[in-house]
Amino acid sequence: MSVSVSVVLAGGGTAGHVEPAMAVADALRALDPSIRITALGTARGLETRLVPDRGYDLQLITPVPLPRKLNGDLVRLPIRVRRAVRETRAVLDSVEADVVIGFGGYVSVPAYLAARRRVPVVVHEANARAGVANKLGARSARRVLAAVPDSGLRRAEVVGMPVRASITALDRGALRATAREHFGFDDDAMVLLVFGGSQGSASINRAVSAAAADLAAAGVSVLHAHGPKNTLDLRAPQAGDPPYVAVPYLDRMDLAYAAADLAICRSGAMTVAEVSAVGLPAVYVPLPIGNGEQRLNALPVVNPGGGLLVEDALLTREFIAREVAGLLTDAPRLQAMTAAAASVGHRDAAQRVAEVALAVARTRKER
C-alpha cells in the first residue's frame, strides 16, 4: 500500500512554468490519489486562474523577480526574499511537505531557500539554457531533471518536458475528421495552424496575414490564433478561397493540433514540447529577446528534421509564400517531417518527474 505524501509545486508566473507543474500534479494524482498537492504562486501570476481551475490548492507568497539591472528592485530584493522565504516556510510546515518540485520562475527562489535543510528538492529545467532560479536550486537539489540535454545544470537527467495528458494522449489521425469539422475545414484540406502563445505575436500575425492571398492561391486553409488583444488585417476573401479562420484564442488546442498539417509558432519550451509530442511539424520562430533560449529549445526538433527554424525578422510574406506554401504542397517532405517530429517528442515526461519526486518523498518519510 502506498504511503501518502505531501508535494509542493513551485512553478508560478508564466504558462511555461505553471503548465508543466500542473501536468506533473495530474501525473502524481494518477500514481497515488491520496497525495496532497499544494502549488505555490503569486497574486500576479497566471496560476491564480490555472491552478484552481485544475482543482489544486494554491498558496500565494510574495513574488521575487530577479532584476537584471541595477535599480530600485535590486535594492529591495533582500527584504522581499526574506519575506517570501518566511511565507514559504510557513506553507511547507502547514502542509507537512515531503518534497518540493521546482520549475523555475518567481516562486522557485524562495521555495528553494525555504526548503534547504528542511525538505528535499527536485528541480526540473524546461529550457535549453537554465535560468538563474534553477541554477540556484540545483546546487542543493536531491535530483535535477531537464527537458533537453546540455541545459547548463550539473547532474541533470533528461526526462523531457511535462505536458498535460490531453495532449500526450492525442491521436491526431483519429481526431482529424472531427477537428476539421469543428473549425470548418474540408477533410482533404491542407491546414496551416498559426499561433504565437497565449497573447499572440504581432510579427507572426503581420507576416501570415500579409501572405493570405499566396496561401489561398496554393490551396492552403489557415487556422490563426492571433491573441485576445490583437486583430488581423485580412484581405476580403475571394470566391473559391479555402477558409482562413481567425480567432483570438484557441481553448481546444487538442483539436487545433489534430486539424493541422503544419504549424507556425514561437519556440518556448512548452510550445516545442506540445507540438513535438503530438508529432506536428512546425516552422519555429524564436522570440527575438532574452538570451536565445527559444532558438535552443527548437534545435532538438529541427536538427532531426521535425521542423524549420526562421528568425523573426526573416518571417516575411515572401518566405511564407515560398517555403511554407511549398512545404504544405510537398506531401513526401511533409510526411518525413511529421515522422521526425513524432520521434523526438516525450510523451511520458510528466510521469517520469512524478515518479522521481515520489521516490524522493517516500525515502524521506521512511527515514
Residue 303's region, left for phi above 0, alpha for psi from -120 to 50, else beta, is alpha
Nearest CA-CA partner of 258 in 266, 250, 270, 269: 250
Determine whether the annotation assigns residue 230 to a binding site.
no
Strand 307-309: give its sheet, edge to edge: 244-247, 220-225, 190-195, 262-265, 282-284, 307-309
Determine whether the annotation assigns residue 14 to a binding site.
yes
Determine whether the annotation assigns residue 294 to a binding site.
yes
Q: How would DSSP label each residue in 259-311?
A: H-SEEEE---HHHHHHHHHTT--EEE---SSTTSHHHHHHHHHHTTTSEEE--
Determine whether the annotation assigns residue 180 to a binding site.
no
CA–CA gap between residue 275 and residue 345 (Å, rounded): 8
Instruction: For residue 179, give Cα distances in angstroms to 176, 227, 331.
Output: 5, 21, 20
Burial (CB < 10 A; 0-12, 13-18, 19+), residue 175, is middle
Nearby residues of 71 by Cβ (< 8 Å), 6 or more positions away: none
Question: Which 8-state DSSP code applies to residue 14?
Answer: S
Determine whether the annotation assigns residue 200 to a binding site.
no
Q: How would DSSP label each residue in 49-93?
A: HHHHHTT-EEEE-------SSSSHHHHHHHHHHHHHHHHHHHHHH
CA–CA gap between residue 224 and residue 263 (Å, rounded): 10
* Distance linking the first and last C-alpha atoms of the chain: 18
Beta-strand pair 220-225/121-125:
unpaired
3-state secondary structure of 244: strand
Q: Which residues are annotated as a binding site?
A: 14-16, 127, 164, 198, 294
Q: Which residues are annotated as a binding site for UDP-N-acetyl-alpha-D-glucosamine?
A: 14-16, 127, 164, 198, 294
